[in-house]
Structures are given as structure tokens and as C-alpha cells.
Amino acid sequence: MKKLADFIVNKVNDMANLTSRSPNSLAAAAIFMACDLTGNAHLRTAEEIGRICGAAENTIKQTLKHKQPERDKLIPPDFKIAPGASVVKK
């Protein structure tokens, strides 16, 4: 999960249209997205991740919406999305 979150953050840093958010928001959204994509969304809520990262729950969710159009570019091409992943569906 950490490896996927790192990958997402690095990809976001390469995309000018996604770097307008604060680093804390981007990191929190990447962690939350990685939890969801790996099937571990039940382990941490956006609120818990936000509290640790210094980002509001709503900010995390808005950042995820902002990332949605670039979803396929934010995850490794060979990554298998876990069944039931809900945050970043097409």
C-alpha cells in the first residue's frame, strides 16, 4: 500500500494540472486512494488519514475528485485494482 501511495504522489508531482493542491492534501488523498485500490479502505477513514496528514476529510475527497480524470495515469499499468474499490471508479 505504501509503495502504491508513493507511486501516486510521484505521478501527481509530474502532472502540472494536479499540483495546485497542498502537499498535505495530495499525500492524504494518495494514501486514501491506495487504501481503496488495494482493498484496505476499511482500515482507515479519510478522517483518520486527514488527521495524521493535516488535511480535512472534505479536502481529501475533493482532491480525489480532482484526480479522477487522470486516474489511469496515477496507478501502475500492471496494478490490479481490488474488487470493491469504490473511491476511484471510471
- pLDDT in 10s for each residue of the chain, 90 residues: 899 999 998 888 877 766 677 889 889 999 999 999 999 888 889 999 999 999 999 999 988 888 888 888 899 999 998 988 876 543
Neighbours of 21 (CB within 10 A): 19
Please enumerate in sequence order all residues whose Cβ is within 8 A of that of 72, keeping only pairs 6 or more positions apart, or say none: none
Record the pTM.
0.85
Inter-residue contact 74 to 5 (CB < 8 Å): no
